[in-house]
Each structure stands twice: as structure tokens, then as C-alpha cells.
């Protein structure tokens, strides 16, 4: 026991850690009927942690070339002990992370937590979600199987439709005119170097802001939160959050056990695209909407109109702390609340309908 | 009564702490064990893509051949009567049977339909329509490495 | 210098014997293109009939080897004056009659010592063979519709037979023969149906020739002969088939069919496989039912019909065992299991199936059953490996279920701990 105390004293003396401990001791989480919404951010962080650990493990064997990528993933899942598990967990955790991030974002939006002074937290969170989708998009190609190859071809094709910079963007993403081994190398670079670097910085900012500003209490729940004792962060909230994390881990174990991520068939760039190629589920709403649009809207290409609408919608969503003027005074506009529910309904219904095969 | 209750509470607490410690420890072990096993490389140290150790020079006297595998696909390693080492795909170009080296013919032969290939892998008799795919051979010491598509 | 009179006399002598050998001065040394005034004029003539031969001669092997126009047509290839160049006194002949063609070509091509200088590697017995062919026999009777040398090789733009552009190059022979033999109206006069070319074009051999570029695949002349073209006899075609399909032929020779077919003058291979439309054989052919080949002679109850039913049953069993196992192994592979060993076994099963199909030619049950037995054994091995892979997936599931229990237990413990803290 003595040695730990001495070590702590020595570290505290040099680094001044006592205030941090003091901060943690006094950190509290408000208690009200929507307190459960506070767990989603932490859960997303947990899945991110799983991604980092399993991702680093996969890096030990993965090879980012068109000739060897599929074989190396095959090697991982067939020959490396527990490789099947690590790979399956990495794939499932990626999906759960994005799902949990979406849940986090919508709970924050619907409870109005984006309002001043938390604009920066909202913006960094928004950027983190886009980065997560970037991770998903780039990581999907890495096993170099048939599905991922053609999904990437379609996805980059859509990006190439952007006015003015489309052609440049397409070549930047693909590392050439078509999806080739050059694309794989590039996506690998994005996936394991570029995106992690940006994500780390933004995540640090996001977490720091939350510590600085404390948890947000929705205006209508303020009386309830005042009337009930807050949850001390250490140890009570931490223990609860840990329980949620264990739930996440259990879910991963169930998914890996009952729905092991398949290896698929090696991509053949010259084979015709198989029927029913779809992107990852979190891009489905966009994919299906673009497909539903007529070829031409008011003389402009339908896909372009769709992309413009998505960009505009994303911008509105991003700028909501500024657009919802009443929010800083604790009076959120019901219009924005309605918008939130509508967007949620749109995303959920389009994704569900697409998964159910209604759009085929 | 109060003392009893306290005792029960203490016992309960001890049990909870024990349960918590044990189950968390077990969870941690369940997570760490696969990771530790994962980082230890398997016996086949490399993902077999297009290069394999096909055999040993010392085990391949002149005028013999042996079948090796690229994953599940057979290749044939042969040593010509003059001592040269060559490798070809062992999949007969007629109906995908596995070809063999015939020391009596001094060339490759497919048992299925009596197809013959010379020591360059060229189809010389019988039904095979095309030559066998040739592989690159590298001899390092006693080891014979065969590379596909090079 | 030879006196002119002697030369003129010699020329006349040659003309009199009717194009028996090229006249001196019309044939240059080998390897050097002929110099020829005929081409200079004929190229610029308006009438296609007269200019085309000159244009075609540009790539003609004979001209490139020093044979002038006069080598065949007579006349003086060095004379500037048309009258002198096409002087009948110098043996000039315009259009050469079909009946004269074989003799004209053979005047050089049947002369080994002449050919030795120009093309030592080509045979010199074509004319002799031609004389025995259906074409040659008919021509001798004055039928000018039959093929002569130029019908197949061309007259003016003759290319070596191993030039891919030549009409007698293996991949183009079908079209060349088909120019006459696909003409049902023309063939009727000779008692030939005219379907042969179309039939052949559906065959595996034509596919091998044109799609796989396998020049050893048989085309018209491989069975019928090229210069000595005749309908092949009952035994000779089987010999042709046997040069490539040696295994099947050896097995057939051991079978009861060899004697039986010979006694009723049935050919060996074509009785079941057809002659021109040789399709990829299929296991479903075996049997006495509709569209099944054994039914041509056998009925279900005779010993042959019973053996056929047995052979078919064994092959069907082997086929379905391979298909089912292949599917199962592929499923395990997609699920990320290492199935290399099972694939090796499947390959062995496939090889045994190929050998079993060979044994159909022996028309005996035991050797085929031995091979289908190997098929089933190898497929069973692969199936066991697939089973093991499925068991492994189940085992992993169990392992994860155990760890799931551990995780849930930890979650429960955490909940209890939280509650006890907050009590």
C-alpha cells in the first residue's frame, strides 16, 4: 500500500494532480427522467476504444495492397488464433459505434443541449460523426472483397458528382480514375493515420469541453433536476457507465457469436457488379434518396440536386445552435424540435425500408 | 437487531465486492486472452499470397517431380534430367486434373486423358489445349521458393 | 549464251507438253521476289478481272519466292510490249481451266528436287493424293464444280498454309470447305446433306479451335484428309479420335462394344458421340431412355440396359455428392473458415469423377464403380472437414456464450455495487 501512496505523492508533487482528483470528486451528473441519454456519449467512446485496440491488432497482419489485402484478411480469420474474433469484433464495433454516435447526437439535439454555451461541443461532435462515417467508408474497402469494392466504386462515384471539385475529389479519393489498388493504399492511409489523427484532436477537444461545461440539463427538466440529488460521477456514474459498457461488450460478443462477419469473395475489378450492391447501412438513407430522385429536377441532374439538399441539410444541422435563436435563453423553438423529430423519422424509416428491401 | 442487520449488510457487501472482482477479472481475462493469442504469429508466418516454399533441393533429385500447393491449388515442381528446377501449375488445361512427372517419359503427364506436356510445360500430345502456366523458381540454399504471376 | 533458236524450240516443246514444267526464265532463284512486267500493266487496268490478280500477287508466296506470272501463265515476263509478253507462241495461257489446275501446280509441287530448293519442308505427294480424292476423281470425269488446288489455296494471293490468313489455316478450314459444303443445293447433287459444316460449328472441337485457339483440335481435314479428301471409313475415324482421346479408345477396345459395333459396321466413337456435331458429353446420356445413347441398341431389361442404368446411377451419385459437398465447403469458406484441405479433397473427387467417366467407354460396372467409390470417399472426406468447420463455428459460439455469461455477471455485480453504494 505504502509504495502506491509514495508514488502518488511523488507524481502529485511534480505534476500537481490533486486538483484533478478534486475535480473528479466533485463532478456530478444531473438526475432526471432523461438521465439515460447521458450514457450514449460514453458508450460511443467505449466502442471507439474497442476499435482502436482491435484495429491495432489487425494492423499486425493486414497488408494494404490489391494483391494481398483479401488474402491477408483471409489469413487473419483462418490462421491467426482468434483472428476471426478480432476481425468480427472490429466490424461489429464499428457499426455499433456509429449507431451509438447517432443516438448520442439525436438525444443531444432533442434535449436541446447544443444551445449556447455548448456550440463548440456540438460542432466538434458533428465533425466526429462525419469522421466516424469516414472511418466506416474507408474501412469497408480494406478487406478488398466484391461487395466492398463495388460499394466503394458507387460511393466515390457519388462524391465525384460534386460541382466544380467533383472530378478532382474523385481522383483524390480513388488515387486515379478508377477504384484500384491505389485506392486501397490510400483508404488504408486515411483509415489508420489521417482520420485517427484528426479524430484524436477533436475528441480531446470534445471531452475537454464537456468537463469544462458540465452536463447540460434541458430547460423543462431543470426543476426536476434541482429537486433530486445529482449522481456523483465517481464512483456512482462511473459504475453505471461501466455497466453500460459491459452491456456493449456483451452485445459485441452476441453479434460475433451469432453473426460472424463474413469474408466474402475476393474483388475482381473486371467482373460485372453483382446485383443489389449497397453501402453500409449508415449511408443507406442517402443512397436510397439519391436513387429515388428523378434523373432531372428543373433541368439539373437529380443526383446533384440530392447532394445539394444533403449538403444544405447538413449545414442547417451543423448551424442549429446559431439558427435556433431562442435556445441560448432557454427557449428553444418548437420548429427546430419538430425538425429534429422529422430528420430522425426520415433517417430511421429510409434505413429500415432499405434494409427491408422495399426500394429494390 | 441493528448489529445483526449491519452484519448482514457487511456480508452482503463482501459478497458483492467478491463477485465484482471475480467477474470483472474474468471479463478482463476473456478479453485479454484472445488478444495475447492473436499477437503470437501462427506457424505459417505469412499470408500465402503468391509465394510458397515448394520443397527442398536435396529432396528433389534430377528426373523427378513433386506436387506442392498454393493454398488449395496444386503446382508441380520438377527437376529436369539435366538438373534444372522448374515449376508449373499442376492443373491440366484439359479438364483440371492434377498432372504428374513421369520419369519414364521424362516429361509431365496427366493420368485422366493421357495428356502430355514437355519440360517447358507445353502441351505436346493428347487433349490438353494449352500449355501449363509457368511459375518463377528461386532456390535459396536448399529451399525452393515458387512465385506465381511473376 | 544459248542460241535463240534453241531457246525458242525448247519453249515450244514445253508448250506442246502442256505446262509440264516452268519454262526457263519464268522462275527466279528462291528467296528473291520475281521481277515481272505483267504486274506493271495489269495493276493499272480498269477491268477488275485483270487488275485483281496483279494486286493479289503482292503477297503471293510464289511471287515472293521468285516465280513470275509466266511461271503459270506462260509468255515472257521481261517483255515491255504486251504482244510479246502475252505471246501464245511462248506458251501464254490466259484463264487456266479448272481441269488443268492440278497438273499445273503439280508440275512443280510434285517435283521433289525442285521443291527442295524452295520449300524443303512441304510434302510433294499432294497431286497423287488429290487424284484419289472424291474431288480428284470427279474432276477426272470432267466435273468442274469440284474443288481443285486453287479452290482452297487461292490462285493469285497464295499464302503458306501456316500463315494465319491462309484459307487452309486450321481455324479457317471450316469456312473454306463450307464455301461449297454448306451449300445444300449444290451438295444435293452429290448425295451430301450440306448440314455438316453447321453441325461441326456446334461441336466442342470447333469451340476449342476458335475460342481456345487450340490448333490441334480436329477440323474438316483431320478426319477427311486434305488433299486426299474422302469420306472416312468406319474404322479410320475412330483412329483419328484415338490419336488425342487415347485413354477412351483403349478402354473402348476392351469393351464388348468393339466387336459388336464392328459386326454391324457401326463406327466406334460416332455411334454415341456423333460425327460432326460432337457435343460436350454428359452423364445424362447414359441410359436407354429418350435422348439417351444406349437406347439405340439396348432396352431396359437386357444386360446392357441394366449395366447402363447402373453406370448412370453411380455417376449421378458421384455428381450429386460433389455438388453438395462443394456447396457446403463454399459456405464454410465464406464464413471465414480455412477449407484448403477440403478443396484438395474436392479436387481429388473431381479427378476420380473424370476417371470414372473414362470407364464409361469400357461399358463395365466394376472399374467405373471403383472410381465413383473414390469420388464418394474423397467427397466424404471433404464433407467431414466441412462438418468440422461447422462444429468449430458452433464451438466458437459456445465459447462466446460462456464469455457472455461472464460479462453479464460482471454487469449484474456492477449494478448490485451501484445499488449498495446508493442505498
- Residue written as grid cell 528446377: B85
Q: At what angle do helices A83-110 and C365-422 cross, to 10 degrees?
A: 40
What domains appear along chain A, each with residue ranges and CATH number?
A: 26-284 (1.20.810.10)
Q: Does B10 touch chain C (CB under 8 A)?
A: no
Nine-digit cell string for C52: 485483281
Backbone φ and ψ for B53, nearest 5 degrees, come out as: -85, 105
Query: Which residues are CB-contacts of C182 (< 8 A; sequence separation ≥ 6)?
Result: C194, C196, C197, C198
CA distance B33 to chain A (A): 9
Give partners of A (≥3 CB pairs < 8 A): B, C
Q: Are C160 and C60 in contact (CB under 8 A)?
A: no
Tens place of pLDDT per residue across chain A (360 aa): 589 999 999 999 898 888 888 888 888 888 888 888 899 999 999 999 999 999 999 999 999 998 889 989 988 988 888 999 999 999 999 999 999 999 999 999 999 889 888 999 999 999 999 999 999 999 999 999 888 899 899 889 888 888 888 899 999 999 988 898 999 999 999 999 999 999 999 999 999 999 999 888 888 888 888 888 888 888 888 889 999 999 999 999 989 888 888 888 888 877 887 877 788 899 999 888 988 888 887 878 888 888 889 999 999 999 999 998 888 787 888 899 999 999 999 999 999 999 888 876
Whole-number pLDDT of residue C6:
41
Per-residue pLDDT, B48: 57
| Interchain pair B37, A82: CB under 8 A | yes
Q: Are strands B51-56 and B143-147 parallel, antiparallel or unpaired?
A: antiparallel
d(CA C194, CA C218): 19
Residue ranges per structural domain of chain C: 232-279, 303-389
Q: Domain B51-147 sits in which CATH superfamily?
A: Rieske [2Fe-2S] iron-sulphur domain (2.102.10.10)
b vs e for B102-119, b when ≥16 Cβ sit within 10 Å of the residue's Cβ? eeeeebbbbbbbbbbbeb
Contact assignment for A57 to B38 by CB distance below 8 Å: yes
Smallest Cβ–Cβ distance between B113 and the set C247, C341, C344 belongs to C247
Q: Does A250 touch chain B (CB under 8 A)?
A: no
Interface test with chain B among A61, A67, A93, A243, by most B beta carbons within 10 Å: A61
What pLDDT is attached to residue C199?
Answer: 93
Bridge partners (DSSP) listed for residue B64 = B79
A73–chain C nearest CA distance, Å: 9
The alpha-carbon gap from C408 to the nearest alpha carbon of chain A, in Å, equals 7
Using CA coordinates, name the residue in chain C closest to A145: C334
pLDDT band, residue B47 (cuts 50/70/90): low
Spatial distance between the Cα atoms of C277 and C280, rounded to a whole number of angstroms: 10
Give the per-residue pLDDT at C233: 67
* A68 contacts in chain B (CB < 8 Å): 47, 49
pLDDT of residue C410: 92
Q: Residue B144 pLDDT > 60, yes or no?
A: yes
User: Which of B38, B41, B49 is facing A86, going by the closest CB pair?
Assistant: B38
The residue count for chain B: 150
- Tell me, what's the pLDDT at C19? 44
For residue C371, the SS3 value is helix
Which residue has 526457263 as its cell numbers?
A: C24
Residue B99 clears pLDDT 50, i.e. is over it: yes
pLDDT per residue, tens digit, chain C (423 aa), is: 344 444 443 443 333 344 456 667 778 788 787 778 888 889 888 888 888 898 888 889 998 888 888 888 988 888 888 888 888 888 888 888 889 999 999 988 998 888 888 888 888 999 999 999 999 999 999 999 999 999 999 989 899 988 889 999 998 999 999 999 999 999 998 989 889 999 999 999 999 888 888 888 889 988 888 888 777 765 677 788 888 888 888 899 999 998 888 888 888 888 889 888 898 888 989 988 888 889 888 988 899 999 999 999 999 999 999 999 999 999 888 877 888 889 999 999 999 999 999 999 999 899 999 999 999 999 999 999 999 999 988 888 888 888 899 999 999 999 998 888 877
- Count the Cβ atoms, other than its own, within 10 Å of residue A177: 11
Q: Hey, how many other C-beta atoms are within 10 angstroms of the C-beta on A228?
A: 13
Q: How far apart are CA C204 and CA B94, in angstroms?
A: 12
CB distance A257–C410 less than 8 Å? no
pLDDT confidence of residue A200: 96
Which residues of chain C does A262 touch, with a Cβ-Cβ cutoff of 8 Å? 334-336
pLDDT attached to residue C3: 45
- Are the beta carbons of A84 and C396 separated by less than 8 Å? yes
CA separation for the pair C161, C154 (Å, rounded)? 11
Nearest C-alpha neighbor of C144 from the set C98, C190, C182: C98
- The strand pair at B85-89 and A231-232 is best described as unpaired
* Contact list, B44 vs chain A (CB under 8 Å): 79
Query: What is the number of residues in chain A?
Result: 360
Using only C-alpha atoms, chain C has a radius of gyration, in whole angstroms, of: 35
Amino acid at each position: 500500500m505504502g509504495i502506491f501512496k509514495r508514488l502518488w505523492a511523488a507524481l502529485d508533487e511534480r505534476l500537481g494532480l490533486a486538483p484533478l482528483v478534486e475535480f473528479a470528486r466533485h463532478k456530478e451528473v444531473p438526475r432526471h427522467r432523461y438521465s439515460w441519454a447521458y450514457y450514449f456519449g460514453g458508450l460511443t467512446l467505449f466502442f471507439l476504444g474497442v476499435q482502436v485496440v482491435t484495429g491495432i491488432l489487425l494492423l499486425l497482419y493486414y497488408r494494404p495492397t490489391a494483391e494481398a489485402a483479401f488474402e491477408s484478411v483471409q489469413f487473419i480469420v483462418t490462421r491467426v488464433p482468434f483472428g476471426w474474433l478480432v476481425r468480427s469484433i472490429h466490424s461489429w464495433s464499428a457499426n455499433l459505434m456509429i449507431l451509438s454516435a447517432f443516438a448520442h447526437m439525436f438525444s443531444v439535439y432533442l434535449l436541446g443541449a447544443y444551445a449556447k454555451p455548448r456550440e463548440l461541443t456540438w460542432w466538434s461532435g458533428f465533425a466526429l460523426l462525419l469522421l466516424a462515417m469516414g472511418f466506416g467508408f474507408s474501412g469497408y474497402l480494406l478487406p478488398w472483397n466484391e461487395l466492398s469494392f463495388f460499394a466503394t466504386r458507387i460511393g466515390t462515384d457519388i462524391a465525384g458528382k460534386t460541382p466544380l471539385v467533383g472530378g478532382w475529389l474523385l481522383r483524390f479519393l480513388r488515387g486515379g480514375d478508377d477504384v484500384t489498388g491505389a485506392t486501397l493504399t490510400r483508404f488504408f492511409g486515411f483509415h489508420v493515420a489521417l482520420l485517427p489523427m484528426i479524430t484524436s484532436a477533436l475528441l480531446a477537444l470534445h471531452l475537454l469541453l464537456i468537463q469544462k461545461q458540465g452536463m447540460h440539463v434541458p430547460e423543462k427538466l431543470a426543476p426536476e433536476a434541482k429537486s433530486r440529488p445529482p449522481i456523483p460521477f465517481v464512483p456512482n456514474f462511473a459504475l453505471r457507465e461501466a455497466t453500460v459498457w459491459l452491456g456493449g461488450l456483451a452485445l459485441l460478443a452476441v453479434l460475433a457469436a451469432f453473426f460472424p462477419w463474413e469474408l466474402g469473395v475476393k474483388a475482381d475489378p473486371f467482373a460485372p457488379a453483382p446485383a443489389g450492391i449497397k453501402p453500409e447501412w449508415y449511408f443507406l438513407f442517402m443512397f436510397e434518396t439519391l436513387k429515388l430522385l428523378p434523373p432531372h429536377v428543373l433541368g439539373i441532374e437529380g443526383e446533384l440536386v440530392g447532394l445539394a439538399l444533403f449538403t444544405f441539410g447538413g449545414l442547417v444541422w451543423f448551424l442549429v445552435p446559431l439558427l435556433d435563436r431562442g435556445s441560448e435563453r432557454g427557449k428553444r423553438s418548437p420548429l427546430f424540435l419538430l425538425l429534429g423529430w422529422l430528420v430522425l423519422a426520415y433517417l430511421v424509416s429510409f434505413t429500415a425500408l432499405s434494409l427491408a428491401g422495399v426500394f429494390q | 437487531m441493528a448489529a445483526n442487520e449491519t452484519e448482514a449488510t457487511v456480508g452482503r457487501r463482501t459478497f458483492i465486492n467478491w463477485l465484482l472482482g471475480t467477474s470483472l477479472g474474468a471479463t478482463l481475462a476473456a478479453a485479454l486472452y484472445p488478444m495475447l493469442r492473436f499477437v503470437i504469429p501462427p506457424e505459417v508466418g505469412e499470408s500465402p499470397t503468391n509465394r510458397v516454399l515448394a520443397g527442398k533441393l536435396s529432396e528433389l533429385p534430377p528426373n523427378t517431380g513433386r506436387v506442392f500447393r498454393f493454398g488449395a491449388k496444386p503446382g508441380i515442381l520438377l527437376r529436369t534430367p539435366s538438373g534444372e528446377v522448374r515449376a508449373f501449375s499442376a492443373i491440366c488445361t484439359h479438364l483440371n486434373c492434377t498432372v504428374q512427372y513421369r520419369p519414364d517419359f521424362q516429361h509431365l503427364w496427366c493420368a485422366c486423358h493421357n495428356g502430355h506436356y514437355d519440360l517447358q510445360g507445353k502441351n505436346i500430345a493428347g487433349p490438353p489445349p494449352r500449355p501449363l502456366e509457368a511459375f518463377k523458381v528461386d532456390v535459396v540454399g536448399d529451399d525452393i521458393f515458387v512465385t506465381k504471376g511473376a | 549464251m544459248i542460241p535463240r533458236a534453241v531457246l525458242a524450240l525448247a519453249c515450244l516443246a514445253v508448250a506442246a507438253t502442256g505446262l509440264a514444267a516452268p519454262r526457263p526464265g519464268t522462275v527466279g532463284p528462291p528467296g528473291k521476289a520475281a521481277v515481272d512486267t505483267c504486274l506493271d500493266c495489269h495493276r493499272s487496268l480498269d477491268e477488275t478481272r485483270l487488275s485483281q490478280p496483279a494486286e493479289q500477287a503482292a503477297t503471293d508466296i510464289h511471287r515472293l519466292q521468285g516465280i513470275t506470272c509466266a511461271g503459270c501463265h506462260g509468255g515472257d515476263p521481261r517483255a515491255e510490249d504486251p504482244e510479246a509478253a502475252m505471246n501464245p507462241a511462248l506458251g501464254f495461257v490466259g484463264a487456266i481451266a479448272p481441269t488443268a489446275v492440278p497438273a499445273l501446280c503439280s508440275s512443280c509441287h510434285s517435283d521433289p528436287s525442285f521443291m527442295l530448293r524452295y520449300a524443303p519442308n512441304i510434302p510433294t505427294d499432294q497431286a497423287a493424293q488429290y487424284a484419289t480424292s472424291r474431288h480428284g476423281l470427279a474432276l477426272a470425269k470432267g466435273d468442274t464444280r469440284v474443288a481443285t488446288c486453287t479452290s482452297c489455296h487461292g490462285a493469285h494471293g497464295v499464302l503458306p498454309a501456316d500463315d494465319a490468313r491462309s484459307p487452309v489455316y486450321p481455324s479457317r478450314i471450316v469456312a473454306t470447305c463450307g464455301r461449297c459444303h454448306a451449300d445444300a443445293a449444290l451438295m444435293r447433287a452429290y448425295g451430301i446433306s450440306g448440314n455438316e459444316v453447321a453441325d461441326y460449328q456446334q461441336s466442342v472441337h470447333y469451340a476449342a479451335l476458335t475460342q481456345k485457339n487450340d490448333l490441334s483440335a480436329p477440323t474438316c481435314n483431320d478426319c477427311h484428309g486434305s488433299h486426299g479428301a474422302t469420306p472416312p471409313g468406319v474404322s479410320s475415324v475412330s483412329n483419328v479420335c484415338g490419336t488425342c482421346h487415347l485413354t477412351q479408345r483403349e478402354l473402348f477396345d476392351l469393351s464388348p462394344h468393339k466387336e459388336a459395333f464392328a459386326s454391324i459396321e457401326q463406327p466406334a466413337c460416332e455411334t454415341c458421340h456423333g460425327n460432326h456435331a460432337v457435343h460436350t458429353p454428359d452423364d445424362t446420356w447414359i441410359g436407354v431412355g429418350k435422348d439417351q445413347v444406349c437406347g439405340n441398341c439396348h432396352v431396359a431389361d437386357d444386360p446392357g440396359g441394366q449395366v447402363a442404368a447402373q453406370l448412370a446411377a453411380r455417376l449421378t451419385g458421384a455428381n450429386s455428392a460433389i455438388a453438395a459437398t462443394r456447396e457446403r465447403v463454399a459456405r464454410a469458406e465464406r464464413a471465414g473458415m480455412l477449407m484448403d484441405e477440403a478443396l484438395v479433397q474436392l479436387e481429388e473427387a473431381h479427378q476420380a469423377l473424370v476417371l470414372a467417366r473414362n470407364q464409361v467407354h469400357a461399358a463395365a460396372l466394376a472399374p467405373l464403380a471403383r472410381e465413383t467409390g473414390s469420388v464418394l470417399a474423397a467427397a466424404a472426406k471433404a464433407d467431414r472437414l466441412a462438418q468440422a468447420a461447422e462444429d468449430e463455428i458452433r464451438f466458437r459460439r459456445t465459447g462466446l456464450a460462456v464469455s457472455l455469461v461472464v460479462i453479464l455477471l460482471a454487469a449484474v455485480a456492477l449494478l448490485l455495487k451501484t445499488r449498495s453504494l446508493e442505498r
